[in-house]
Every structure is written in C-alpha cells, then in structure tokens.
Chains A and B, each alone.
Chain A
C-alpha cells in the first residue's frame, strides 16, 4: 500500500505515534520476567533439599551405631537407596519446571522496544536517501519503529499468554507434589533423624552414668546438631511455602494473561516475587 504523505490525516498520525508508543511500552513482560526469575531461583534451591533426603536416611542409620565404632564407610541400607532414587526423579521433575520458568523469563525479557528502535533507525537511514522532507523522514521512522514494537511485543505477549494458560494446571499439580514431598515426607524424616540422634546420646549417657565430662561434650554437640536440624526443618517449610506462593502467582498470571492489564498484573506479580525472594534465605542458610 502506498502511503500518501500529503494527506490531511498525516499530522494526526504523527500526533498519535507517541501516545501509541506509550501504550505499548507497558511493563507487563518485565513483571513476568521478575516473577519467573524468582521462580527459577526458588526451584534451583530445592536441589539441595532433594539431595539431603537420602543423606538424612543415612545419617539416621548412623545413629544406630554405638559411639566409638569408628566405621570406615557409611551405612548403606537399601531403603536409603530407594529414597535416593525417588529423590532423583523428583529433582528431574523440578528441573522441568525450572526450565519452563527460565524459558518464560527469557521470552519475557526480550526487548521489544529494542527491535522497534532498530527498525526506526533503519527507516530513518533509508528515507534520508529519498527526497522526503526532514519531518516526513522523522515521522516515517517513528511509525516504522512503532509498528515493529507493536508486532514484536504483541507476538511476545501472545506467546507468553498461550504458554501460561495452556499449562497452568500442570504447573499447579507439579508444584503441589514437590511441596508435599519436601514439606511433609522429608520433614517427617528430619524430625525422626533428630529424635534418633537424641536417643543415641541419651543411651550413651545411660551406659556411662556419672560421666560428667562426656555429658558436657555430648551436650555441646547436641546444641550444634539442634541448630542444624532447626535450619533444615525451617528450610523444608520455607520451600513448601515458596512453592505454594509460586503456584498462586502462576494461577494469577494465567487468570490475567489474556487481558494483560499491565499495571495490575505488575503489582500482583511483584508481591509474589517479593514473597519468593523473602523465603529464599531460609532455604540457602541450611544447605549453602
């Protein structure tokens, strides 16, 4: 289609360009990117917890040994291997979710405005060689930049919405499952390990009644153990809470994905991202 540069409507088009550009430069992909980035970080921190499931089982088996056994190898009960195998499967499932949020983050981080600026510059150069006046050249460049921005950001937002809406239930089920494993099954395991550790110390002192020095040494060791157990149990609960937050945020994202009310969505996702970020230190403290 040939553009009529001298049509009466042309100045009106010029006036509309900044307004339309402002509308397109909404910060929806930015807020999605931040939320997805927090999701990637949260899911990544879960690997240490999954690794500790087998380790906790082995540590618990060690409490069955008497003090002074000086075993050269860790106990290796078959049941701990079973726990380790299931943990590996769950870790792989967590990686699938992590890859998903990373891909969304990458897509949301794509700079549509950069593509628009590139196109604008291109048309400015091309039209500089033509016989157009300076204001017409500027207008052509602005329109080209705007159209490219609309095309790329529209495509970007449509693809984001399609992905988020299509799999939000799958994401919900998977996050619920991972949270359940860590926040319930692993937590029970840790609580049992703590109980068995205390039993081992108590039994030793009953076998050596009146050994005050041994009691003091074991007490100091127990305080250290307790701090580790508390940190791990807190991490397990924080991870479960983080995945629940992530699931809620993802549901909100899916519910608003088609409408893209940028301002509202940005505020909403920012609060979820902030919650995820606030839970991360409790997880890191126990394992890193």
Chain B
C-alpha cells in the first residue's frame, strides 16, 4: 500500500497541535503552582510544538498540490478544446449571418428596391466585420 504523505502530514499536524494544547492546558491548570521561569519554558515548548504542527500544515498542502499538478495539463487542454468548439459554433452562426445579409442585399437589387440597398450593404459589412 503506497504511503499517503498528505494524510501522514495531516495526522502529524493534529498530533502536534494536540500536544501543544495539552502543554498549555497543564500550564494553566497549575498556573499558581508553577514558578514564572517554568511557566515561560512550558509556554515556549507549546509554541514550538504549535509551529511544528503548522509546518505539517504546509507539508500536507504541498503534498496534495504535488498530487494534483500532473492532472492540470489535461484539464487545461480540455478547457481549450471546449473554447475552440464554442469558437467553431460561433463561426457557423457568423457564416449564416453573413450569408443572410448577402441574400437580403441580392433580394433588394433584384427587386430594384434602391431605398433598402444601402441598408443591406451596411448589414453585410457589419456581419463580415462582426
């Protein structure tokens, strides 16, 4: 069974945090009985355990990131493919719009409708440029 470094780091993180909090709890429970120097020593030890727990947080995050990273190029490629497919579909719509404008223009010319020729020329130009 392969070692799951992220899970191990998370378990260590929890162990170090629990130890740190246990040291704090002991110190506060015996606050009046412990001399100041001992108080300070226990406080520093709790903080050291706490820092070790946070290092395990960073290690767990790093291990998970490392496990994810090999999969990201495939997802990026699929994203690009979906974007390309949409661009292709939009090209189809654009082609239809262009032909639509051309048909309207031809219709106006055939009918001799001078008033609408200008508008249809404009429509065709916009469709091609759009």
Query: A interface vs B, CB < 8 Å?
Result: 53, 57, 60, 64, 77, 79-80, 82-83, 85-87, 89-90, 93, 96-97, 99-100, 103-104, 106-107, 110, 112, 114-115, 118-119, 121-122, 125-126, 128-129, 148, 151-152, 155-156, 159-160, 162-163, 166-167, 169-171, 173-174, 177-178, 180-181, 184-186, 188-189, 191-192, 195-196, 199, 202-203, 206
Contacts and interface: CB of A to CB of B under 8 A. Distances in A.
A192 B107 contact: no
A129 B110 CA distance: 9
Contact of B82 (A57, A107, A112): A107
Mostly helix, strand, loop or mixed at chain B's interface? helix
Contacts of B55: 79, 82
Nearest to B58: A82
Given A188-B17, A189-B54, A170 B71 contact: yes
A177 B65 contact: yes
Given A125-B103, A174-B68, A203-B28, A107 B53 contact: no
Given A82-B58, A103-B79, A166-B78, A114 B85 contact: no
A93 B50 contact: no
B121 to A, nearest CB: 16
A83 B54 contact: yes
Interface residues of B, number: 57
Given A103-B80, A148-B96, A180-B6, 8 more contacts: A104-B82, A128-B107, A166-B74, A167-B71, A185-B57, A189-B13, A192-B17, A195-B21
B78 A167 contact: yes
A173 B62 contact: no
Contacts of A162: 81
Contacts of A77: 51, 54
A173 B67 contact: yes
A192 B72 contact: no
A267 to B, nearest CB: 24
Contacts of B79: 96, 99-100, 103
B78 A202 contact: no
A115 B96 contact: yes
Contacts of B81: 159, 162-163
